[in-house]
Chains A and B, each alone.
Chain A
Amino acid sequence: MGILLAIQGAVSQGVLWGIMALGIYLTYRILDVADLTVDGSFALGGCTCAALVTAGMNPWLSLVVAVAAGMIAGFVTGMLHTKCAIPAILAGILTQIGLYSINLRIMGRSNTPLLKTPTIFKSLASMTGLAQNWVSMIVGAIFVIVLIAVLYWFFGTEIGSAIRATGNNENMVRSLGMNTNTHKVMGLALSNGLVALSGALVTQSQGYADVKQGTGAIVIGLASIIIGEVIFGKKNSFGTKLASVVIGSIIYRIIVAVVLQMGLNTDDLKLLTALLVAAALTVPVILDKRRQAASYDPMTDKKDGKGGK
């Protein structure tokens, strides 16, 4: 019974973290930028939300502010990258490091419990009489469905197509009269807004915010994307791809729940995640090389003089 409960918790966590994975998907796969702001902006979302809720703000409204904060973080990374010509990875790291201090300032301490403050999940749970886990799962699922629909629409519009093209071929985008820098900043802001939303939702659902809650978030997001791609393949329609990212996030959480149930030390979790991502990225490369090697034919056994010596 314990494992079932753990898996149920894992699914609801997976859905909420899946929103972050969607944000990472925008930069990693669509813009083709490795954005390391994520670790900072995830915590930013959580810390902003926790500080505001404990100060008495409506928990729903605090989500909106968290998204805005995340978008500003993405905007800063975008500016550092485009205006100051700092490589994207470094620009992201700079914002991330800066955000650590900012997050501490926002909360005034490193950890804020939300035990006595209202959260969207608590109020919905008391309203519907459902268990918190179920509420998290349902609310998360509604958020995810709405967000996927909005993203699907947005990336079909003129601006959305232009952002996709920027991740594909910047040279072409400029030659067709579009400012690639604007697209990158927009993409990064949008992505980090989603990441911060996820951070805020996770914070409200787990009942506390921690300044370190974003550590390794980028790797977890990549793991979700890659798990999704391994299971559903890379050649799907855009909507399916977005859905597979969230499903990847859920599967990641289930894997974690299972290995923890099997007795893995939580301290080893980050190492496990890193290994998982490294393996998932390596396996296709090795398989491809093997296929190549297997299909190689030196033609030495042909006697017509065309192969071998």
Chain B
Amino acid sequence: MLTISHVSKTFNPGTVNEKKALQDINLHLEPEDFVTVIGGNGAGKSTTLNMIAGVYPIDCGTIYLDGVNISRQPEYKRAALLGRVFQDPMMGTAANMQIEENMALAHRRGRKRGLRWGVTKEEKEVFHEELKRLGLGLEDRMTAKVGLLSGGQRQALTLLMATLQKPKLLLLDEHTAALDPRTAKKVLSLTEEIVTEERLTALMVTHNMKDALRLGNRLIMMHEGRIIYDVRGEEKKKLTVEDLLKKFEDASGGEFANDRMILAE
């Protein structure tokens, strides 16, 4: 489904702030792979997702998604194939627009937009049903401005919007990190439900090792811009948090203590 070959990215090359964010990344995802991505700060997890989404141009290598070479496509063109949820709940929705208007924009992802009315009656019925499954009561507030919702509600809505048009690949960039534990749990179980039901291919960055182990069929660990560990299927099921910590310690040497905080729950 997704094939990344020899992708590297250096920020601010040739300056004192030079940062090799990604170094020769190679990754292949099968259809319906649900991959969790872990690693310390600055490991390149978010950068990997942003490269796939086209937020920055890559320095070298190729990215194929569903047989299409998207390596040099602008962000808005690739979006036709991608569903995205961001860490910041404010980033995925338009605050001054209504819930149904936001959903209608998402519903047309990858389609030509013209002078037809922005939200149709049939769509409103579909959105009403879709919002019901969130269990947040949003189906009764469809004309409310999104800015009135809480961070958790906005994140749940963004998740729904990202999957309204079935994406070839769902990119989740620490999408529960900014939420309180209870809301995070709710959004995460919703994620699991949607990915399983819709049989989506997904990449999920997380700081939570337990979540990374519990969810998905495959796990990759990143460190200093490289993929240092890639495990799937039965082998992944047997992994424990201790195994991951050990792996991480081996890779990063002395840095382990610094990263302990973010690895703990």
Contacts and interface: CB of A to CB of B under 8 A. Distances in A.
Contact of B76 (A158, A164, A177): A177
Most buried by B among A161, A164, A173: A161
A222 to B, nearest CB: 19
B109 A172 contact: no
Given A157-B116, A161-B105, A162-B113, A176 B95 contact: no
A175 B84 contact: yes
Interface in B80-122: 80, 82, 84, 86, 90-97, 101-102, 104-106, 108-111, 113-119
A172 B94 contact: yes
B117 A157 contact: yes
A157 B94 CA distance: 16
Given A158-B113, A159-B113, A169-B93, A176 B105 contact: yes
B93 A157 contact: no
Given A161-B104, A177-B79, A179-B76, A172 B91 contact: yes
Interface string B154-181: 0000000100000000000000000000
B91 A161 contact: no
A12 interface: no
Contacts of A176: 79, 105-106, 108-109, 161
B115 A158 contact: yes
A177 B106 CA distance: 9
B75 interface: yes
A162 B106 CA distance: 10
Contacts of A162: 105, 113
Interface residues of B, number: 35
A186 B116 CA distance: 17
A168 interface: yes
B105 A168 contact: no
Interface string A251-272: 0000000000000000000000
Interface in A164-195: 164-165, 168-169, 171-180
Interface residues of A, number: 22
B246 interface: no
B210 to A, nearest CB: 28
B150 to A, nearest CB: 17
A9 interface: no
A174 B114 contact: no
Nearest to B95: A168
A164 to B, nearest CB: 6
Contacts of A156: 117-118
A77 to B, nearest CB: 21
A118 interface: no
Nearest to A176: B109
B79 A169 contact: no
Contacts, number: 85
Contacts of B72: none
Interface string A128-166: 000000000000000000000000001011111110110
Interface in B130-174: 161
A165 B76 contact: no
Contact of A165 (B74, B79, B105): B105
B213 interface: no
B114 A165 contact: no
Contacts of B116: 157-158
Contacts of A172: 91-94, 105
Contacts of B161: 176
B138 to A, nearest CB: 17
B77 interface: yes
Given A159-B113, A161-B104, A169-B93, A175 B53 contact: yes
B136 to A, nearest CB: 20
B120 to A, nearest CB: 10
A161 B76 contact: no
B109 A165 contact: no
Given A161-B105, A175-B53, A169 B95 contact: yes
A161 B119 CA distance: 9
Given A168-B96, A176-B105, A176-B109, A157 B79 contact: no
A172 B110 CA distance: 14
A168 B96 CA distance: 7
Given A174-B76, A177-B76, A177-B79, A158 B95 contact: no
Given A158-B117, A172-B92, A177-B108, 12 more contacts: A157-B116, A159-B113, A164-B94, A164-B96, A169-B95, A171-B86, A173-B94, A174-B79, A175-B75, A176-B79, A178-B79, A180-B76
Q: Which 3 A-B pairs have the closest CB atoms?
A: A177-B79, A168-B94, A161-B118
Interface of A: 154, 156-162, 164-165, 168-169, 171-180
5 contacts: A164-B96, A169-B91, A174-B76, A176-B108, A180-B76
